[in-house]
Chains A and B, each alone.
Chain A
Amino acid sequence: MDRFVFLTFDGLSRGAVYAAFALALVLTWRAARVVNFAQGAMAVACAYAAYSVSAATGSYWVGLAVALVGGLLLGAAVERVVMRFVDHSTPLNGVVVALGLVLLIQAVLGMIYGNEFRPAAPPFSRGAFQIGGVALLSRFDLFVFAAVGVVLLLLALLFTRTGTGLRMRAAAFAPDVSRLLGVPVAGMLTLGWALAAAVGSLAAMLVIPTELGLHPTAMDVVFVSSFTAAVVGGLDSALGAVAGGLLVGLLLSYVSGYLGATVAPMAVLALLVVVLLARPGGLFARASARSA
């Protein structure tokens, strides 16, 4: 039982990060109808920038700020400089260009920082509190929950309470109609990419200290889990991304804990296959067909 409780909390903590990274994928998908396969590499690039700044200033928080701002800028740049010029008439074009970006970013990072793992220190202790004799949560886990919670809250406020959020949603659903109503659709697309990349950077900052450390490919495995989470959640739904992220986190934790870590990736694949067979639109797919 203790083991189960421990695995549950561990899974939720990892799941929160997957949720954030999946949310970033959903943001891009909703804004641009593109699955950003380069999101992992972009997030790692921002994490390296944060690492450099933290090392120079001695402050984790300045580094975190650099990661978030860097995410905004990198996301905007990728949309303005690359994605805008991709012919999106078939989805494959965007995927191929994104994969090209992955190779480019990982190569450049390798040239600058070297292809070795660099230790990334967490801002809080990863030593878990003992509650009733069971190691449940560390301070860092609490930080992860708080950070992901704040991002969710801010995004929810943005999309439901502000004019910019309404513009972004309108531009994504009906670009031509939105332009006729005075919405700067191209700008909204850039903003969507920027926000998504910033959320992706945050996820990288939260997950890298819990893994082997910084490496140009550090987010590749996280990307697979989070992509599964986003697809399981329906790719279009923020709530779905969060639920999918927690589900994948729990699944990975239970399977690693009870069956062995080598089986875990198979479990993620199995989850993806089962959900796609049973509900091809994802668990949170909405049945509202566009007709206008």
Chain B
Amino acid sequence: MTGTPAEQPAGTGTETLDTPLLEIRNLTAGYGAAPVLHEVDLAVPAGRIVAVLGANGAGKTTLLRAVSGLIRPSRGQILFDGRDLCTVRVEQMIRRGIAHVPEGRGVIVELTVEENLRLGGLWRGRRGAERAQLDEIYDLFEPLARRRRSPGHQLSGGERQMLALGRALIASPRLLLLDEPSLGLAPRVIAQTMELLRTLRDRSGMTVLLVEQNVHGALSVANDAVVMSLGRIAVRDSAARLRTDERLRHAYLGF
């Protein structure tokens, strides 16, 4: 992760000379007149998991919504692969390789499991995701395979999580934006989710921007982490250091 020298402790092994896959510069954004985010700088290198931590209302969700175009920044730049995202329409983001699993997961509960998954590949045309892609997802999330024809509202929280992730993965995104995947899930399921993210990164080089309140879970897989507070980035460091540095943990993460 790049950062200003003052904020970036030397020797953490997080610097990279390459252009980051996602680069947010001086971003100010919000709803209506009042900005939620103030002058946020963040760089997400390719093939890494970057965790965004912080309390409720710190601006984590707003940050993701700005990246995927659901809200437009009043100032600043968002670059994906070196190209400006701020003029790209939301509907085009998936074609650029950005998948956003929103707060609350965004499973369309009126549609069946299979329809939700097909929707994930529909931007490629025809009738949506191909059989082989669907089977891949069903292999990855076996409980979904048994519930293909069930409407989304019959799924448990864990199954919805799998469906939301599966639907995003069908697009084979380069950047996955995940908003609180662990919310409302059992610890075992959270651990499985984090393990899956680790596998996706290590095997297919997927880049993940992971918004979490579950600090333990997020830091267990993230390479780097930022802590947001009142719409600004308060701390940025490697996940390893945040895990071990007691002073930082006490000050910003409350444990």
Contact = CB atoms under 8 A, between A and B. Distances in A.
5 contacts: A166-B119, A170-B115, A179-B70, A181-B167, A292-B107
B225 to A, nearest CB: 24
Interface stretch (B49-57, B78-86, B97-105): B97-105
B122 A183 contact: yes
Contacts of A182: 91-95, 122-123, 171
Nearest to A162: B127
A231 to B, nearest CB: 20
A174 interface: yes
B107 to A, nearest CB: 5
A166 B104 contact: no
Interface stretch (A95-103, A113-121, A216-224, A283-291): A283-291
B111 interface: yes
Contacts of B95: 182
Contact of B90 (A162, A163, A179): A179
Interface of B: 68, 70, 90-95, 99-100, 102, 104-111, 115, 118-120, 122-123, 125-128, 151-153, 160, 167, 171
Nearest to A175: B90
Contacts of A215: none
Contact of B128 (A163, A184, A290, A291): A163
Nearest to B101: A180
A167 B115 CA distance: 10
Given A169-B110, A174-B108, A288-B151, A180 B120 contact: no
B110 A163 contact: no
Given A163-B122, A167-B119, 12 more contacts: A162-B127, A163-B128, A166-B127, A180-B70, A180-B99, A181-B94, A181-B119, A181-B122, A182-B122, A292-B104, A292-B105, A292-B106
B94 A291 contact: no
Interface of A: 162-163, 166-167, 169-170, 173-174, 176-185, 288-292
Nearest to B99: A180
Nearest to A186: B91
B108 A180 contact: no
Contacts of A169: 110-111, 115
A181 B123 contact: yes
Pick the most buried of B100, B105, B119: most chain A CB atoms within 10 A of its CB: B119
Given A167-B122, A176-B70, A290 B91 contact: no
B236 to A, nearest CB: 27
B241 to A, nearest CB: 33
Nearest to B177: A180
A86 to B, nearest CB: 21
A31 to B, nearest CB: 14
A163 B125 contact: yes
Contacts of B118: 163, 166
Given A180-B68, A291-B153, A292-B106, A173 B111 contact: yes
Contacts of B99: 180
B204 to A, nearest CB: 20
Nearest to A181: B119
Contact of B100 (A163, A170, A180, A290): A180
Contact of A292 (B91, B115, B160): B160
The 10 closest A-B pairs by CB, nearest first: A182-B123, A177-B106, A182-B94, A179-B90, A163-B127, A288-B153, A180-B100, A174-B108, A173-B110, A292-B104
A180 B100 CA distance: 7
Contacts of B122: 163, 166-167, 181-183
B152 A292 contact: yes
Contact of B91 (A166, A170, A179, A288): A179
B102 A176 contact: yes
Nearest to A180: B100
B19 to A, nearest CB: 25
